[in-house]
């Protein structure tokens, strides 16, 4: 047993050493990323929000360098031997590129920043997979399957390792009362998932000249694809065809949900087609699937495009619709390629997907540029319909606008405020806010459904060293927690206090008679509106005093969180813990 454990440990060390020798830059970047995240994990309470976000953006830039380093390493493996100067220039350019990306393209965590970041990551990892096999090298699908299974095994081992280390830490903490910080558990996960797992995975990547043969195809994956996923896709296709027949009979075109259902189904389908393509000659069932399934799915994709066209015609193009449309076109192109080409070069699929991902987030044809242009045209069309454009600006309409057009204008303004800038919306005056709506358009701003888009999350809490409070000469005290429910606290004397979540009313009753009422969200809004970006505050900063005839009430919030509409400034309290002190005068 000891020999076996020693052998396993030696194998593990050999793998980690191998990945470090082959991909040193990648391991270094992964280690730096984890180090920054560990630092943020421990120092978060001692930093301002802007400082914490700056470090998180640094970690994102470092993480983006991981696929870049992988691409450079695999590319130089094809150039034998690579020149030292070429490698030095490549990695110097990488460092400079990451620094510039951090400065110009990682300024926040908004939709544009995050979708661009995700798309570039996807594109770079795809490039990493096809560099060794581009353009005419065979068995690319098997190489990807090898990467996929190695990745799965690496993170399965990592999960087991994390659970084991966490269990050991918990046991030591419980037995010896060490009061270990909970942050250590997250540190362990970061190290295991961010350093160990990538290093273990990279050790199993085939060498450049190493061939991956058909007999490698994992039996478990083969069963999953051939006898579970493929029959499910056929059954799902039948359901969609029945729905398609219903549309033809009733002549009621589908809503936007159908586009997403068909898109995900078609995306999974082309992935399955990609994985099973190399065994089409060895298995008759796979051969039939590869030959006929692309023809089966094309009419369903046509239905998806019709549904998307209806939505775009009604509401214009947004980033979400652009991404759905771009992915749908790529999937359709992939299926048409399988239909027309007898011997498919599967490496063209990830190459084209990487190209689509990059084009979708860069340049004037990107999702952002096209969406801004589409919504501006929509806005201009409504304004022109009511003759509201004069000398390049907006004039108040002579009559009342239709309710639908009011909602449309508010939705367009909310879209630009949420995802871009109001400066990008043509005809709006400089410095426009929601308070100017009625003056400029003749109607109030319609908030619509209050989603997380267009809102900033806020959270404030009292510093730990502020536990000693001066209660003065108050007569009564109550401790309240508001988490989406109403509450009642009965005092020993004639007083009782209650909170009604639906209306936000905080009440004080004396012998059953109401003597005080306040709207707690309004108090929270007034209190939080004056606070800065620091989340850890003093007791004075977290206090609010209200005086009424014969009554003084002091609120001391231990913590409070919620959402703030970035356009109107309106606050919505989500939850709060607070003390309330009452004095009868």
Per-residue pLDDT reduced to its tens digit, 295-313: 999 999 998 998 899 889 9
Residue 467 and residue 371: Cα distance in Å, rounded?
A: 51
Average pLDDT over residues 393-408: 89
Question: Residue 272, class by beta-carbon neighbours within 10 Å (0-12 exposed, 13-18 middle, 19+ buried)?
Answer: buried
| Residue 490 or 219, more confident | 219
Under a CB-based contact definition with an 8 Å cutoff, are residues 33 and 89 in contact?
A: no
Average pLDDT over residues 107-131: 95
| Residue 185 or 509, more confident | 185
Nearest C-alpha neighbor of 266 from the set 320, 201, 332, 319: 332
Q: How many CB atoms lie within 10 A of CB 472?
A: 9
Residue 518 and residue 555: Cα distance in Å, rounded?
A: 11
Residue 200 and residue 18: Cα distance in Å, rounded?
A: 9
| Residue 530 or 180, more confident | 180
| Residue 34 or 523, more confident | 34
Task: Name 139's Cβ contacts closer than 8 Å, sequence gap at least 6.
Answer: 133, 211, 212, 213, 214, 278
Average pLDDT over residues 447-465: 64
Residue 117 and residue 101: Cα distance in Å, rounded?
A: 10
Q: What is the pLDDT of residue 488?
A: 54
Average pLDDT over residues 104-125: 96
| Residue length of the chain | 585
Average pLDDT over residues 91-111: 95
- The answer to whether residue 7 scores a pLDDT higher than 80 is no
Q: What is the pLDDT of residue 130?
A: 92
Q: What is the pLDDT of residue 568?
A: 65
CB-facing half-sphere around the CA of 431: CA atoms within 13 A: 0
Distances (CA, A) of 218 to 130, 203, 426, 530: 21, 19, 57, 61
| Residue 473 or 154, more confident | 154
The string of pLDDT tens digits covering residues 540-561 is 888 888 888 888 888 888 888 8
| Residue 163 or 471, more confident | 163
| Residue 44 or 353, more confident | 353
Q: What is the pLDDT of residue 534?
A: 60
Q: How many CB atoms lie within 10 A of CB 529?
A: 11
Nearest C-alpha neighbor of 69 from the set 148, 111, 128: 128
Residue 212 and residue 194: Cα distance in Å, rounded?
A: 27
Q: What is the pLDDT of residue 444?
A: 85
- The answer to whether residue 5 scores a pLDDT higher than 90 is no
Q: Largest Cα–Cα distance of the chain, in whole Å? A: 91
The string of pLDDT tens digits covering residues 199-250 is 999 999 998 878 888 788 899 999 999 999 999 999 999 999 998 888 888 8
In the 3-class helix/strand/coil scheme, how is 48-88 assigned residue by residue? CHHHHHHHHHHHHHHHHHHHHHHHHHHHHHHCCCCCHHHHH
Question: How sure is the predictor about 451, in pLDDT bands with cuts at 50, 70 and 90?
Answer: very low
Question: How sure is the predictor about 449, in pLDDT bands with cuts at 50, 70 and 90?
Answer: very low
Average pLDDT over residues 257-262: 83
Residue 117 and residue 107: Cα distance in Å, rounded?
A: 12
Q: How many CB atoms lie within 10 A of CB 186?
A: 14
In the 3-class helix/strand/coil scheme, how is 495-521 assigned residue by residue? EEEEEECCCCEEEEEECCEEEEEEEHH
DSSP for 191-217, written as a single string: HIIIIIHHHHHHHTSPPTT----GGGS
Question: Residue 572, class by beta-carbon neighbours within 10 Å (0-12 exposed, 13-18 middle, 19+ buried)?
Answer: middle
Under a CB-based contact definition with an 8 Å cutoff, are residues 573 and 520 in contact?
A: yes
**DSSP class of residue 566?**
T
- The answer to whether residue 484 scores a pLDDT higher than 70 is no
First-to-final CA distance of the chain: 79
**DSSP class of residue 531?**
-
Distances (CA, A) of 512 to 294, 344, 520, 550: 73, 80, 21, 17
Residue 489 and residue 207: Cα distance in Å, rounded?
A: 69
Average pLDDT over residues 244-257: 77
Element of type H or E holding 26: helix 24-43
Average pLDDT over residues 75-85: 81
Average pLDDT value over all residues in the chain = 87
Residue 534 and residue 530: Cα distance in Å, rounded?
A: 12
Under a CB-based contact definition with an 8 Å cutoff, are residues 371 and 319 in contact?
A: yes
Please report, rounded to a whole number, the percentage of residues in the chain having pLDDT higher than 90: 49
Q: How many CB atoms lie within 10 A of CB 302?
A: 13
- The answer to whether residue 489 scores a pLDDT higher than 60 is no
Average pLDDT over residues 526-543: 74
Under a CB-based contact definition with an 8 Å cutoff, are residues 69 and 29 in contact?
A: yes
């Amino acid at each position: 047993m000891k020999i076996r454990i020693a052998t396993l440990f030696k194998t593990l060390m050999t793998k980690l050493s191998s990945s470090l020798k082959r991909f040193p830059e990648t391991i270094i970047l992964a280690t730096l990323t984890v180090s920054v995240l560990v630092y943020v994990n421990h120092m978060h309470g001692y930093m301002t929000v802007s400082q914490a976000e700056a470090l998180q953006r640094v970690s994102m830039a470092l993480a983006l360098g991981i696929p870049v380093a992988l691409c450079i390493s695999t590319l130089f493996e094809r150039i034998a031997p690579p020149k030292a100067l070429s490698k030095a220039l490549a990695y110097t350019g990488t460092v400079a590129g990451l620094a510039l990306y951090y400065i110009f393209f990682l300024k926040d965590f908004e939709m544009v920043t995050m979708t661009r970041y995700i798309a570039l990551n996807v594109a770079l990892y795809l490039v990493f997979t096809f560099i060794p096999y581009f353009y005419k090298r065979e068995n690319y699908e098997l190489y990807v399957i090898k990467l996929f299974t190695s990745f799965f095994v690496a993170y399965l081992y990592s999960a087991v390792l994390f659970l084991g280390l966490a269990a050991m830490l918990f046991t030591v903490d419980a037995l010896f009362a060490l009061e270990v910080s909970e942050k250590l558990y997250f540190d362990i996960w970061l190290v295991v998932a961010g350093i160990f797992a990538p290093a273990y995975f990279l050790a199993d990547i085939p060498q450049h000249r190493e061939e991956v043969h058909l007999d490698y195809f994992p039996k478990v994956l083969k069963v999953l694809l051939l006898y579970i996923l493929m029959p499910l896709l056929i059954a799902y296709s039948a359901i969609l065809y029945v729905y398609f027949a219903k549309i033809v009979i009733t002549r009621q075109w589908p809503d936007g949900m159908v586009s997403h259902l068909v898109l995900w189904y078609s995306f999974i389908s082309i992935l399955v087609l990609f994985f099973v393509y190399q065994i089409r000659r060895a298995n008759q069932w796979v051969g039939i699937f590869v030959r006929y399934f692309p023809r089966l799915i094309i009419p369903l994709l046509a239905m998806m495009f019709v549904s998307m066209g209806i939505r775009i015609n009604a509401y214009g193009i947004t980033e979400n619709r652009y991404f759905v449309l771009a992915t749908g076109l790529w999937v359709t192109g992939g299926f048409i390629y399988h239909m027309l080409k007898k011997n498919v070069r599967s490496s063209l699929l990830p190459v084209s997907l990487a190209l689509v991902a990059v084009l979708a987030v860069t340049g004037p044809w990107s999702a952002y540029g096209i969406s801004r242009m589409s919504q501006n045209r929509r806005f201009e069309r409504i304004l022109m319909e009511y003759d509201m454009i004069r000398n390049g600006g907006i004039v108040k309409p002579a009559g009342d606008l239709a309710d639908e057009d009011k909602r449309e204008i508010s939705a367009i303004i909310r879209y630009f405020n949420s995802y871009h800038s109001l400066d990008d919306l043509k005809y709006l005056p400089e410095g426009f806010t929601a308070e100017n709506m009625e003056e400029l358009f003749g109607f109030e701003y319609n908030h619509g459904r209050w989603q997380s888009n267009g809102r900033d999350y806020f959270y404030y809490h009292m510093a730990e060293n502020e536990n000693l409070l001066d209660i003065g000469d108050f007569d009564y005290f109550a401790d309240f927690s508001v988490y989406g429910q109403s509450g009642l606290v009965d005092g020993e004397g004639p007083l009782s206090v209650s909170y009604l979540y639906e209306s936000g009313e905080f009440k004080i009753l004396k012998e059953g008679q109401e003597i005080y009422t306040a709207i707690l969200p309004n108090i929270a809004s007034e209190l939080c509106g004056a606070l800065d970006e620091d989340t850890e505050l003093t007791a004075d900063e977290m206090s609010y005093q209200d005086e009424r005839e014969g009554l003084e009430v002091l609120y001391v919030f231990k913590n409070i969180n919620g959402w703030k509409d970035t356009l109107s400034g309106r606050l919505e309290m989500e939850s709060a813990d607070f003390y309330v002190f009452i004095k009868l005068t």
